Amino acid sequence: MKITAMSTMCGDIFMHTGEIRPGGECLNFAAVACEYPGIEVHLLGAIGDDECGKAVLESIRNKRIGKDCIHVIPGGATACNKTYLTKEGDRYYKPDSWNGGVYATYQLTEQDVRQILSSDAVFLNYGCANFDDVLALRKGHEFKLAVDFDVERDLARLEALLPWIDYFFISGEESLLPVLKAWSEQYDGVFNATLAEKGSVTYLRGQETRAPAVPVETIVDTTGCGDSYHAGFLCEYARSGDMAAAMREGSRAASRTLRHLGGFLY
């Protein structure tokens, strides 16, 4: 399975120590997905040629990740995110945390479009600067589209997208589950909600599957745990087609990420 992950690559600045670690949804996802046999994963997006951008490239230098569509913008600033942690390891952000840098203004090239159309699946977050462009491509082509909707709650707006979403991921709560179940009865996609320590729930054609979270004795940092879950889920589901196994693998991947600072190890 060939997956293109796009397009958020950034520096996570941990404010309690000042340490900067490469991160962003697609970078975290790719760093986990590349470890699975049978998965060919590529990154697509823009970074600057600053120190943060160099750190992004260095973090994946020895990883089995396609890098041809990582575009380094001369004189550009790599996106960065000021990340705060509670004493329990839960990350949180403040109004001035995010600086989009070159990510926020990047426009897809012809090379990028070819990369997307040659993929079996494209993974991106709903806030991706190129979301509308990718959605337009999906409407006319057959690649699978996997989207992390995070904590978006404009349900009417989300439902309008569902005919073209193959894997719908959201950080949810129990009250959202009846909506996902109803959507799964009407639309063809896979609908998955992660519920933190309560595990995850997936609906496919109205059928509910639940999986527990993997307990972690000491949570260091929650950054990237959702991205890791999505990578484990998609890679296992592509391999086996087994929904319960995919959810268990997602939970295992997330639990590993909770044990260290930043979205992935390098």
CATH topology classification for 2-257: UDP-N-acetylmuramoyl-L-alanine:D-glutamate ligase (3.40.1190)
pLDDT (tens digit, 9 = 90+) per residue, 174-206? Answer: 999 999 999 999 999 999 999 999 999 999 999
Exposed / middle / buried, residue 224 (Cβ in 10 Å: 0-12, 13-18, 19+): buried
Region 137-165: mean pLDDT is 97
Q: What is the pLDDT of residues 34-58, one digit of tens each?
A: 999 999 999 999 999 999 999 999 9
Instruction: Report pTM.
Output: 0.97
Report the pLDDT value the prediction gives residue 148, as an integer from 0 to 100: 98
Q: What is the mean pLDDT of residues 140-155?
A: 97
Pairing between strand 190-194 and 167-171?
Answer: parallel
| Percent of residues, the chain, with pLDDT higher than 70 | 100
Q: What pLDDT, on the 0 to 100 scale, is given for residue 243?
A: 98
Average pLDDT for 84-94: 95
Residues ≥6 apart with Cβ < 8 Å to 80: 10, 11, 12, 13, 20, 52, 98, 99, 101
**Residue 7 preceded by cis peptide, ω within 30:** yes
